[in-house]
Amino acid sequence: MGKKGGKSGQSKEAVKGGKNCSKEPFSKKGGQSKECVRANQSKEAVKTVSTRSATDTKQSKSTDEEGMINFMARALSHNHWFHGSMPRDEIEDLLKAEGEFLLRRTEVEGKPRFAISVYKKGTIKHILLHYKDGMWNVRDIKKKTLTELINAHVEGKVPVMSDGTKIVKGAARPDFYILHEHIDLKKRKVPVMSDGTKIVKGAARPDFYILHEHIDLKKRLGGGAFGEVYIGIWKKSDTESIEVAVKRLKGMMHKKERIELVREAKLMRRFDHQNIVKIYGVAPQEEPMMIVLELASGGALNGHLQKNPDIAVEKLVSYCKDGARGMCYLASRNVIHRDIAARNCLLGKNDELKISDFGLSVADRSLVKMDKLKSMPIKWLAPECLRKGEFTKKTDVWSFGILMWEIFTRCKTDPFPGETNLEAKKKILSGKQPMQVPPNTPPIPASVMEMCFIQDPAERPDFEGIFKILSPDEKPPINIDNMFETYSPY
């Protein structure tokens, strides 16, 4: 296409109209005015054609589609029916009415794709979209942008000829001159599948979906194999911004990693307790995905104890009470944490301990079995974990005993200092108390620690019992409504 004609065939005014869209009033669902939507469609068309011309001679067909999908994610984020990289299992519950649909990113044979998920007669249909020769298409409908493609199916405003001719009003004519399918397009929604499945209404994003553009990363706190953690600012509304912690995953995630990330976020949304790190939401619209969390300004417990070796014993006891209170809360909600350790505890603004990192946690299961423990923290595991690969609330109790040992040694070393995982495993399975209570541990915490290390899980106390011993004047945070809660972690 020549330069004079413009890259998209749009007028300068149409393209220029998108400049002020960033000034639209803030919307929790990410919505915009009709004028902004039209402007964004114009910008999408410009981006589509320019990207196509730049890569046509350099990339394969599959790379072209992959690049376009990555490029368009941000442009689509203002459409309330675009749900980013959320896995299909997580979005199906959002679709409840006939024809209700959403658009999402998925992965097919290791390559990113766009797919429409739509409710049809009690089932969810999933339709992959295709990009070819600068056009997006589903069946016979082809459009330059995904917004246009979706609108064509929703509104039925589909051109009847390649030059853009549309049917507007029927006129008298011979019977053989009438195209019934064109009349149908005006009167009913256009099916996206041959069985008549239609998309009718886009499902709004849940409140816990956060747009990337509303997150401003400020300072890197640390990182690991999974990604990095930052201090950031979350623009919660036009009038409110709050300081948060942001867990940002490294680069492009595979489907399995996305599912695990969303599973962890979904579980954390169930919690509301002063000794549990709070989650604000997840940002799935673009790569890399992010989890937005409460900022625990005191940092990690292990680092704090190492930097303050002279911290008062009374404060150490307080940390144990906080941890027991948080674990009592989780246990009453049928949660098995599976990774209780000082490294996974944070300190809030009032120096209170908060349980964090629920990547290994499960809910509403009394027993979890694992065939392989390769990625598990051996020195924090109970004997039954090592013998049979079994995890329960009572295995969390054992790990809590290890956490107390870390607290009263001020995290100078890992548990079983100077010993390998194999040597530690032998001690754990020996039938004897695996480690001695650290010197200067007060009698009550010392007795709790020893009870946590009882070999038979049936004889170990539960977290309600532990909390009553550590804080006898305080009522345990028991969830009396737990019998009415339902949750499926898989």
* Whether the Cβ atoms of residue 423 and residue 359 lie closer than 8 Å to each other: no
Own/partner contacts of 483-490, CB < 8 Å, gap of 24 or more, are 485/270, 485/333, 485/334, 485/364, 486/364, 487/267, 487/270, 487/363, 487/364, 488/364, 489/263, 489/267, 489/362, 489/363, 489/364, 489/365, 490/263
Catalytic residue among 339, 357, 396, 414: 339
Return d(Cα 208, Cα 201) in angstroms, integer: 20
CB burial of 196-235 (b: ≥16 within 10 Å; e: otherwise) equals: ebbbebbbbbbeebbbbebbeeeeeeeeeeebbbbebebb
Cα angle value 461/299/317 (rounded, 5°): 35
Return d(Cα 268, Cα 271) in angstroms, integer: 6
Return d(Cα 114, Cα 132) in angstroms, integer: 13
322 flagged as catalytic: no
**Region class of 20: left (phi > 0), else alpha (psi between -120 and 50), else beta:** alpha
Helix axis angle, 443-452 to 393-408, nearest 10°: 140
342, 441, 422, 393 alpha-carbon torsion, rounded to 10°: -60
Q: Which residues are catalytic?
A: 339
